Amino acid sequence: MELSVKEKNDLIFDPLVCVRCGYCKSTCPTYLATRDERFSPRGRLILSQKLLEETSNFIEQIAIYNDLDTCSKCLECERVCPLNLRPWFNFIKVKNRTFMGKIETYLAKLLVNSKLFFGFIFSAMWRWKHRKIEENLYWDAISVSDRNAESNTGSDLHDILFFPTCFGYTVFAEERKKFQYLFRRLGVNFKVLSEKFLCCGAPLLLSGDFESFRENSRKFVLKIKKSGANLTDKVNLIVMGGTCSWIIRDFIVPDNFEELKNVEVHEAVDFLISLIDSDVLVVKKNIGKFLLHKPCHNHSQSLEKFLSKLRLDYEVTDFYCCGFGGSLFFKHKKMSDLLGVNTILRKNFDFIVSSSPGCIIQLSKFANVRHAVDLIFTIAQDL
């Protein structure tokens, strides 16, 4: 680990400034699930300082890397820290400096840059899900109130770009088609940011490879420009999934502010709900009791408000982190499963509803899960 003095000061800033008050512990899902200080933001900050001070040997470094790596990047520690520290961001920067971190960033680069590799993984997931879609069926099956369609065709929506993300072309292709169908049915004119494996760069950012992330962001910006959207006026970018919309809103747009200052990022379910007048929806049949899982990267209340207006029978998960985040799902099965089980513990439900592709993949290990757009689609059919 060779660090310049400035790099070292930057990295060690959070651990030194942290007053060890422990507020972050009370909301950290990995601490709440294990009650082990090593898996709390405060504990990880102390470990990251130890790593940087090089007081640990190689074996200890691997153990510390693993403890930092079990952070799910749910952002709760950042939300509650009275000193506005961002512990999770410190962890990805620090672990990126280790031998294991270098391997991780190499794999992240391979994942994002190799379309073949990307295509292979997602095709495998696609086969696993065994779904076949007939888009025409949707046109016959659904009816959305004309009043609703007319009221939302207004020109105040400006340019609308729909970014389905890599999930929307693979495991969640059916859900992408439902979004596209409902947007059209609600009178929205949109263009699809269509390159199948165009990636927001989440794996690069979360592995701490900021240089490659910025390179990828440039490709993303060029793609938006090539779409023909008028960037001198307001552009609505509709993104499938909380994590990708968070990465674009909080990192890609600020990093490319001059070009993207008129771009407003919306998570797709939130945007869809904003178009639907829930007063005209009447649910005619009992769809069962469900558990609403709100993803940690999207704290919007809109889906919950929408569902409560429809008087559906649901409960909200009180453990917000399902265990998919960061590298957990792939590398730390035990912690990932523990968080998943905690999410649904002591609840009675027929199925789970979530708007995040990652959360749906994770929670499918434990129960039946439906994408929120699928639920809205079903409700719309019942009109």
**Applying CB under 6 A, which residues contact ligand SF4?**
18-24, 28-30, 41-42, 44, 71-77, 81, 83, 85, 87-88
Nearer of residues 76 and 270 to ligand SF4, judged by Cβ:
76
Token reading at 377? 């689609």
What type of residue sits at position 88? W
Token reading at 367? 């129960």
Q: Report in angstroms how near the CB of residue 37 gets to ligand SF4 at its nearest.
A: 11
Per DSSP bridges, beta strands 263-267 and 290-293 are unpaired
Burial of 136 (0-12, 13-18, 19+ CB in 10 A): exposed
- With CA atoms as reference, report the closest residue to 236 among 341, 158, 322: 158
Residue with tokens 């030194």: 16
3-state secondary structure 148-180: HHHHCCCHHHCEEEEECCHHHHCCCHHHHHHHH
Residues in Cβ contact with 11 at an 8 Å cutoff, skipping those fewer than 6 apart: 3, 48, 52, 90, 93, 94, 97
Q: Give the Cα separation of 110 and 118 in Å (integer).
A: 8
DSSP-assigned beta bridge partners for residue 291? 315, 352
Nearer of residues 53 and 350 to ligand SF4, judged by Cβ:
53
The helix-helix angle for 210-226 and 99-113 (nearest 10°) equals 20
